[in-house]
């Protein structure tokens, strides 16, 4: 989280856990270390090496 008044981009607190990117949608400096203070729930199944998943993405043209 930037505290400089000259900064012109927003930076959100974020971190990776269980192969997912988590972010806190606030630029308030009090949330700078929110990932250390408030962890999302653990997903034991995702940490299991035998677990597999399929990730798909599709671009859809809009006009």
Residue 37: per-residue pLDDT: 87
Per-residue pLDDT at 33 exceeds 80: yes
Tokens 């597999």 map to which residue?
Answer: 52
Taking the C-alpha atoms of residue 54 and residue 2, their distance in angstroms, rounded to an integer, is 36
Residue 38 exposure: Cα atoms within 13 Å on the Cβ side = 9
pTM over 0.75: no
Is residue 31 predicted with pLDDT exceeding 80?
Answer: yes
> Residue 3 pLDDT > 70, yes or no?
no
pLDDT of residue 55: 80
Q: Is the pLDDT of residue 51 over 80?
A: yes
Q: What gap in Å lies between CA 33 and CA 39, rounded to an integer?
A: 11
Number of compact structural domains in the chain: 1
pLDDT of residue 63: 65
Containing domain of residue 26, as a range?
1-63
Look-up of token digits 């990117």:
21
Residue-level pLDDT at 2: 58
**Residue linked to tokens 């993405």:** 57
CA 55 to chain centre: 17
């Amino acid at each position: 989280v930037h505290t400089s008044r000259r900064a012109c981009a927003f930076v959100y607190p974020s971190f990776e856990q269980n192969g997912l990117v988590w972010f806190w949608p606030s630029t308030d400096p009090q949330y700078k270390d929110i990932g250390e203070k408030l962890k999302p729930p653990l997903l034991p199944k995702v940490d299991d090496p035998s677990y597999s998943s399929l990730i798909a993405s599709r671009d859809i043209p809009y006009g």
